[in-house]
Amino acid sequence: MDVFCLSLGKAQAIGAFFLVSLNLASLLFAQEVHSSPTAMPARRSYHNEEELLARMTLEEKVGQLVQVSGVPENVELGETVPLKEEYKPLIRAGRIGSILNLTGAENTNAIQRIAVEESRLGIPILFGLDVIHGYRTIFPIPLALAASWDPGLVEQVAAFSAEEARAHGIRWTFAPMVDVTHDPRWGRIAEGPGEDPFLASAMARAWVRGFQGESFRSPGRLAACPKHFVAYGAVEGGRDYNTVSVSLPALWELYLPPFEEAIAAGAPSVMAAFVSVNGRPMASNSWLLRHVLRQELGFRGVVLSDWKAVGELITHGIASNSRDAARQALLAGVDVDMESGVYAANLAELVREGVVSEGLLDEAVRRVLRLKFEVGLFDNPYTIVPRSNGEGEHSNALPREGRELARLAAQRSVVLLKNDNNLLPLSKDLHSVAVIGPLAADQENLLGPWHACGHPSDVVTVLEGIRAKLSSKTKLLYAKGCDINGESTSGFAEALRAAKEAEVAIVVVGEASWMSGEAGSRASLGLPGKQEELVRLLYEAGCRLVVIVLSGRPLAIPWIADHVPALFQAWFPGIEGGNAIADLLFGDAIPSGKLPVTVPRSTGQIPIYYNHENTGRPPGSGPFSSVYIDIPTTPLFPFGYGLSYTRFVYRDLQVERSSIPVGGTVRLSAWVQNVGQRTGEEVVQLYLRDMVSSLTRPVRELKGFRRVRLAPGQSARVEFTLGPKELGFHLEDGRFVVEPGKYQVWIGGSSEGGASGFFEVSAS
């Protein structure tokens, strides 16, 4: 059965809208398709890429650099569609090297058979997919997983997802998305690790290790493709695909580190971003792709363009036509052209005419072939079809281990922002509970904006999760109240009645999943529609409220944060979101998530982030200081913040040595104590400030974190080591330096406060 599942109709529709080239298949057909000169036996074996390269025609070489989407655009989630028929002869002719978005063991095998058994050289196809936070078992969105501050957990999530995807024919994932951003207006913040390069690097490493294991060749593993290289998170105004202007220090210190980590962890491919960075679109940015990525970061793998980005060089106004776009992209170091058809249409001719050297083409082809060897495609191009694999069905029979992991991941990634007078956890013996809000009984949105083959029917809603916690003695009332984004208040009266009748009202509000993710930028970050009005109505009627926000980004909701007694940021929590939220509400799990982003009070504060520079006139330094005259400068909630049902205090920061030489290391530690009544987990965070340096440095930078579990009254001394990697920074030219001088450190539970101390780095 030909099965395809994909959640990204939206992005591809956008790609189609901006499409510069023609329909790819017809464009490829317009070329002369060379059939095999001599019949060859099926399944040839090759030793390495050089042996193959020596036998390939120019067209076959170009074919390896061509990636197409195997299915029509705008396919809805879970639709069953046949492979685009027109691609089959092209595969047979060796004109397509990789395919994205085609899934299913039988489906991919059928296509593979054409490549391996019917094409002249039998080079297998590499099948790729955006396995962003799960394949079928959908976990919390990556931003939420970053809020777990738990790389081990992320590694397990990635490993589980890899196994599921691999069983369905996928060998390559276009993930992890490691774009740091300071702008929550940008919808793709949902797909990434948040605002901090240190946390993002830890997440990048975990995702790559999880996807790839010891070797991405092994069964159940995927080759990773960190994206989008680089500084995509800096799009102006937070508007997707917009221009990026980035300073060199920010490039080195903020945007490049997670890529460096992902590469060091063994990622064999990198996706270039859509955007123009400092005037050069990434698909033509040879300084970033060849110099920085390959020479400075030592990357040896495949560079893949983003969707139609090679063709979009024309729209950027950088290439005069598709020929020019192909030339520029190959020269800049883009090996694979995803879906624009520009390489397919032009590269062979450009080489024949001597505009592009065959040596340059060979370099790119060699890298793609090497990846295919490394992935093991030449030894084992097919996927074993399980006897009953449920492909195309949307049963709830997902593996139990996956559901358990998804539940744990959601528990750990929910952040408790407020809990006045210990309203939470709730008792399971309440007489009545009202569950209210447009997301309370919602399945689809909990999956998040990019959920591969996930299906809404797999999702446990918040209402169901709560219902499962309560005995029949508790009266459970439900009212939707309003839509996520509508203007109608016709459901308010029913919601008010339910909330008034209940001892506590749990209000589940937030964004629809399409409001974040690709092309999901928003200009104002309040609750959409009438939702805040609904919360105000219930609050003003005197109801005891617990508000749960589901969203792909932090929302600017100062009124809610100031008024309601209990507030959870639960992101888009995946298929087990409802159970995990109920676990937290009723104390079967203790909140331990911490914000991976600063929560703004107002959209006007953006960009607001904790690791900012001090300026010459920091807030509070006098009447002419760097503040707003109409709102506070401080965030609604700071980076790293998150409450528990117990409380942790920090004291006695010890610095092992008051002075270390340049290149030396220093050990630091502090006591953290659980002074509350319950066992809980705390993410202990280490921050650093370089007090005097040759470039202005952040007021604080995260340099370490650790999860500790403490029983009531229990203390632990948590230790960190700082070395050159943590103490140094990059100068504008990319040189990495550790400068002598004074450093301040903090160990605490967020980017504010904590136990503090100092040490020196001395020149001698």
Note whether 707 binds ligand BGC by CB under 6 A: no
| Between 305 and 750, CB nearer to ligand BGC | 305
| 307 touches ligand BGC by CB under 6 A | yes
Q: Does 518 bind ligand BGC (CB under 6 A)?
A: yes
Strand-pair partners of 100: 69, 128
**Contact code string over 81-120 relative to ligand BGC, x by CB under 6 A:** -------------------x--------------------
**What is the C-alpha to C-alpha distance for residues 378 and 467, in angstroms, rounded to an integer?**
51
Length of the chain: 764
- Beta carbons of 173 and 211 less than 8 angstroms apart: yes
Which residue intervals of 626-735 are DSSP H helices? 724-727
Burial 58-93 (b: 16+ CB within 10 A, else e): ebbbbbbbbbbbbbbbebebbeebebbeebbbbbbb
Residues 6+ apart with CB under 8 A from 250: 231, 234
DSSP string, 697-709: -BS-EEEEEEEEE
Residue 130 binds to ligand BGC (criterion: CB under 6 A)? yes
Q: In what order do the strands lie in the sheet with 66-69?
A: 172-173, 126-129, 98-100, 66-69, 337-338
Contacts of 639 (CB under 8 A, 6+ apart): 194, 195, 196, 595, 596, 597, 598, 609, 610, 611, 702, 750, 751
Min separation Cβ 242 and ligand BGC, Å: 14
Instruction: Tally Cβ neighbours within 10 Å of residue 420.
Output: 10
Measured CA distances, 654 to 617, 718, 727 (Å): 31, 10, 17
Beta strands per DSSP E along 298-359: 302-304, 337-338
Q: For ligand BGC, give the closer residue by CB, 307 or 641.
A: 307
68 binds ligand BGC (CB under 6 A): no
- Which candidate, 354, 348, 309, places its Cα nearest to that of 95? 348
239 token code pair: 């508007």
Structure tokens at 528: 């959409």
Q: Are 343 and 304 in contact (CB under 8 A)?
A: no
Whichever of 15 and 529 has its CB closer to ligand BGC, that residue is: 15
Q: Does 544 bind ligand BGC (CB under 6 A)?
A: no
Listed ranges 7-15, 51-59, 526-534, 633-641: which one lies at the site for ligand BGC (CB under 6 A): 7-15
Phi, psi dihedral angles at 152 (to 5 degrees): -65, -40
Contact 200, 194 (CB under 8 A): yes
* Burial annotation 665-687 (CB, 10 A radius, 16+ → b, else e): ebebbbbbbbebeeebbbbbbbb
Task: Please tell me the distance from the alpha carbon of residue 550 to that of residue 577, in angstroms, as a whole number.
Answer: 10
Which one among 3, 11, 325, 356 touches ligand BGC, defined by CB under 6 A? 11
Output the smallest distance, CB 514 to ligand BGC, in A.
Answer: 14
Residue 174 binds ligand BGC, judged by CB under 6 A: yes
What Å distances lie between residue 652 and 345, 424, 666, 684, 715, CA to CA? Answer: 66, 30, 16, 14, 12
Mask of contacts with ligand BGC, 189-228, x by CB under 6 A? --------------------------------------x-
Q: Count helices and strands (H / E) in the chain.
A: 23, 25
Which window, 8-16, 29-37, 382-390, 668-676, contacts ligand BGC (CB under 6 A)? Answer: 8-16
Q: Which of 149/307 has CB closer to ligand BGC? A: 307
Distance CA 702, CA 745 (A): 10
Query: Cα separations (Å) of 217 from 165, 168, 235, 338?
Result: 14, 15, 35, 23
Nearer to ligand BGC, 163 or 518 (CB): 518
Radius of gyration of the chain (CA): 27
User: CB-wise, 232 or 639, nearer to ligand BGC?
Assistant: 232
* Candidate list 130, 150, 179, 306, residue with the active-site label: 306
Task: Say if CB 231 and CB 242 are below 8 A apart.
Answer: no
Task: Mark 223-262 with x for binding to ligand BGC (rule: CB under 6 A) and - for no binding.
Answer: ----x-----------------------------------
x/- track of binding to ligand BGC for residues 266-305 (CB under 6 A): ----------------------------------------
Total of residues contacting ligand BGC (CB under 6 A):
10
Written as one string, the DSSP assignment of 549-571 is: EE-SS----HHHHHH-SEEEE--
Q: Which two tokens stand for residue 13?
A: 């529709």
Q: How far is the CB of 3 from ligand BGC (least distance, A)?
A: 17
Least gap, CB of 760 to ligand BGC (angstroms): 44
Rounded distance between C-alpha atoms, residue 161 and residue 141, angstroms: 13
Q: Is 681 in the site for ligand BGC (CB under 6 A)?
A: no
The separation between CA 425 and the C-alpha centre of its own chain, rounded to angstroms, equals 30
Q: Catalytic annotation on 306? A: yes
Select 79 or 501, whichever has its Cβ closest to ligand BGC: 79
Name the helix (H) or strand (E) containing 109. helix 105-113
Cα–Cα distance, 663 to 737 (Å, whole number): 10
Does residue number 306 form part of the binding site for ligand BGC (CB under 6 A)? Answer: yes
Which residue in this structure is represented by tokens 């793998």? 301
Q: DSSP character for 85?
A: T
Q: Can you give the binding site for ligand BGC, defined by CB under 6 A? A: 8, 11, 15, 100, 130, 174, 227, 306-307, 518
Which positions are catalytic?
306
